[in-house]
Structure 1
Amino acid sequence: MLVAMIDNEERYFTYHLIYGLDTDLITEMRDKFELYHKRKVIFNQSFDDNTWVMSDEKSQYTLDFSLLLINYQFVVRQNMMVDPEQMVLACKVYAMIQFGVHALATIVSSLRALYQLLDKLITQDIQTALQTMSLSVLHALADFFPLLDSSSETILYIQDVLDAIPPAPRANKRRSLAPFVSYFRFSDVMTQFWEHAESEQMIRFFPLWLWWNLTTIRRCDQPSLH
């Protein structure tokens, strides 16, 4: 089951179960597009643009949906029995579903995975195409095809194959902690700030102050010896 994270300008989140590409979902993803445009993550002003330029402040990325209307129009229409414009819409919605959940590079990779599959379908049958694709590419496609409203045997076969693939293993990585002296210094900064903060600043930063005092390692100062 695909789940969409819906966020807003107040930066709280709701999660919606997705059963298909319906009007409500499209509207929510259009609104989410506008939100990420305001946050300067997406440079385009319109959801309807067929090429999106995005940035994560370190790198710039491009999602080019126009290839579905040019390079892959025949494959989409004949093999998958989906209107190319509808495929473009599904890809845009799927991309927006991933915003706030995955890195931009991952979102771009999921579209590339679809293009890789469509490339193979130009010259191969669906069974051969899927057999020659890597697991990482197949994992990137796992949640996309349920969005398509099609009774195409190709799409149904793809869904059956993807459903049978075990989930991608999660890397067993633990985050590295900063040296303890950094925590102590931050604690000193927090204490000094709070002692001199104005009322408005206290109200604004109270959640941070509360979180720090509930979760931090408290330093025990050594008593002075006389």
Structure 2
Amino acid sequence: MVSTAAEKLYVERSGMAHIDNSGIEKAKKRFEAFKKNGVIGECRFEDNKWPMTDEYSKMNMRFYVNPFTYKRFYERMLGIDTDAFINCMKVYVVFALGENALGSLINIVRDIKHVIRTNFKDHDAFDNMISLKMPARTKEFFRKLPEPADEEEYKILLTEIDRIIEYQDDFYSSEPRELASFDSYLLFNDILNDYWKSDITEEERMFFYPLYLWWKITGVIPLRPREFILTPRKCLEKKKDGFYITLRRNKIKGSGRDITYKISGDYITVQYKIPDSLAENIQTYLDYTACYESTQLHTLFITDTHYRHWERKKSKINRYFTYTNMKCVLKYFYNDVISGKYHLKIIDDRNLKHLNKGEIQRLHLGDTRHLALINIIADGGTPVLAMMLAGHDDINMASHYYSNITSLIECRTYAQYRKVLQGEVTYTLSNTGNLPVNALSYISLCDGNRCYSEKYINRDYSDCRKVIGPKGEMGYCPCCRYYRKNKAEDYFKDDEVYKRNIMDDCKHLEKVISLARKMNGSSEDIMQTFLRIKSDAYDYEQFLKERSEKGGTSYGKTKEDGR
């Protein structure tokens, strides 16, 4: 019975038309191939724990299922015993190797076992299974099992899993990544730079060095945390036109390529030109840590200076500087530096968008990638970003990158204005006439609303000709930066026209990216939309600067509120 069930699952997964006795043997041969390649460690196919590695991480695939729970809820319905069910899981995993990350496969197995622990006919079955990480793949597994003994109960199980899938799709597709307030990112940047210039010990500086380089590199180049962690030791190269850094990029995400579970196979190396100052910082770290043994993965950051922070030596299991190590450094920076030395209160609630003076929200390592993308889009985009977005696996996820653009523009403009108040920098508004010279001058329109264009007031319609409506209407007032509804007290009271223009551009960006992914569009269309976003973002920044200069409201603050 074990062999028959496993063979049927293998046949369905591999698309074979007929079931034959070689099915389970082929699964075992595939197991041995991955074992020989080093992906699977020392174990047998029959074992219920398989040690596995993708070089970056070591993990265990655990197949054990409680036989009493399985027999109580599932054996009669599925028509196979516990050993047969476990064998089916193993075959499913073996033939999914090369298509999925090891972490994903472990989550699938955990989800399957979670379902087995649940009485799917209970009224609270949905609540018990709501935490499934990969419900669609869990359903796929159960659908590939041999024909069930009880078809009606089998349908009830699949219906419950379908409810989980629908719920999670609705929940996660509508929720962009929750970032901290942009004020917190700017404040974090100011504190890190100030701390780095201060008189700190070499040991302390080396402990926080990975965090400093993480902020400087991933805040500009959109890297995932793992990609940054895997930066090669020999990453710096000087060429005729300056310094270049070599970084690893994951080539599997959304690509449909086979997974090798080897860094050399699943990542590509890409070079980016960097400022001399950043290259100098990287070289300083390389020089200081040159006396230490390289990590097993030959990555940039070594572990010795990390564990010296607690006067400990690295152990044999510390193969390289890990994501967990990086999270630890970030945690200590918040506790020892931001809270301990700068006396700021750390807020963990990301739903708070307006912080009090002396407060800062906690950052996550993955935030900088999203910040870098938002910054690039707001600044006009690049061909590289156009290709990244055009190849994104989920267009809804791509749209989340620009969902916070207007907030970013407001915050960084206010930060600039705050420095002006403190006498740190000065800025000069352009004299191109983009904004009215006298914001109190307007003319009433036939619809009862107002136009603040000085040219229109003086019977010059050139500003009107620049405005095109959604259906090609020239002089379409609702899209004009000088148009205000009558309810506005003055020109600077209403900034919705700027926000609306930017968000309309972003919606158009989503459309042209979607077309490009379907081979019905071009990267030129994407770049043109980027330029429109940059232009509208510039107009909004100029409006906010002028409003601040005239003492108007800026992000809920006035001149007297400057910190």
SS in 2 for 1:54: strand
Do 2:43 and 2:50's aligned partners in 1 also have CA atoms closer than 8 Å? no
Do 1:65 and 1:91's aligned partners in 2 also have CA atoms closer than 8 Å? yes
Q: Deviations over 1:153-204 (max 9, x none)?
A: 3323333555685696899x9969834569xxxxxxxxxxxxxxxxxxxxxx
Q: 2:135 aligns with which of 135, 138, 145?
A: 138
User: What displacement does 1:119 show?
Assistant: 1.8
C-alpha change, 1:128 and 1:78, in structure 2 (3 Å) is farther
C-alpha change, 1:72 and 1:161, in structure 2 (3 Å) is closer
Task: Show the counterpart of 2:115.
Answer: 117
User: What displacement does 1:66 show?
Assistant: 2.5
C-alpha change, 1:145 and 1:24, in structure 2 (3 Å) is farther
Task: Show the counterpart of 1:197.
Answer: none
- Describe how 1:40-51 pairs up with structure 2 within 5 A: 40-51=38-49
Task: Show the counterpart of 2:262.
Answer: none
C-alpha change, 1:116 and 1:162, in structure 2 (3 Å) is closer
Q: Percent identity?
A: 21
Distance 1:126 1:100 in 2: 37
Task: Show the counterpart of 1:222.
Answer: none
Distance 2:18 2:112 in 1: 18
SS in 2 for 1:67: coil
The two structures have a TM-score, normalised by structure 2, of 0.26
Q: Deviations over 1:125-158 (max 9, x none)?
A: 2664246423644223021012322232332333
1:178 pairs with 2:270: yes
1:154 pairs with 2:153: yes
**RMSD between superposed Cα atoms in Å:** 3.8
Distance 1:22 1:64 in 2: 28
SS in 2 for 1:159: helix
User: What displacement does 1:50 show?
Assistant: 1.9
Do 1:113 and 1:138's aligned partners in 2 also have CA atoms closer than 8 Å? yes
Task: Show the counterpart of 1:26.
Answer: 24
Distance 2:17 2:159 in 1: 17
Distance 1:131 1:148 in 2: 25
Task: Choose between structure 1 and 2 for higher RCO, CA contacts under 8 A separated by at least 6 residues.
Answer: 1
What residue identity is the alignment partner of 1:138? P
C-alpha change, 1:88 and 1:18, in structure 2 (3 Å) is farther
Larger radius of gyration: 2
C-alpha change, 1:161 and 1:22, in structure 2 (3 Å) is farther
Task: Show the counterpart of 1:129.
Answer: 125
Please, which runs of 5 or more residues in structure 1 have no aligned partner? 5-14, 183-226
User: What displacement does 1:43 show?
Assistant: 1.3
SS in 2 for 1:87: helix
Distance 1:69 1:83 in 2: 9
User: What displacement does 1:49 show?
Assistant: 1.5
Distance 2:145 2:19 in 1: 7
Task: Show the counterpart of 1:39.
Answer: 37
C-alpha change, 1:179 and 1:40, in structure 2 (3 Å) is closer
Distance 1:147 1:63 in 2: 20
- Describe how 1:1-226 pairs up with structure 2 within 5 A: 16-17=14-15, 23-69=21-67, 72-121=70-119, 125=121, 128-130=124-126, 132-134=128-130, 136-149=133-146, 150-152=148-150, 153-160=152-159, 162=161, 165=165, 178-179=270-271
Do 2:65 and 2:82's aligned partners in 1 also have CA atoms closer than 8 Å? no
Do 1:51 and 1:65's aligned partners in 2 also have CA atoms closer than 8 Å? yes
C-alpha change, 1:136 and 1:49, in structure 2 (3 Å) is closer
Please, which runs of 5 or more residues in structure 2 have no aligned partner? 1-8, 177-221, 224-248, 251-268, 275-563
C-alpha change, 1:128 and 1:26, in structure 2 (3 Å) is farther
What residue identity is the alignment partner of 2:83? E
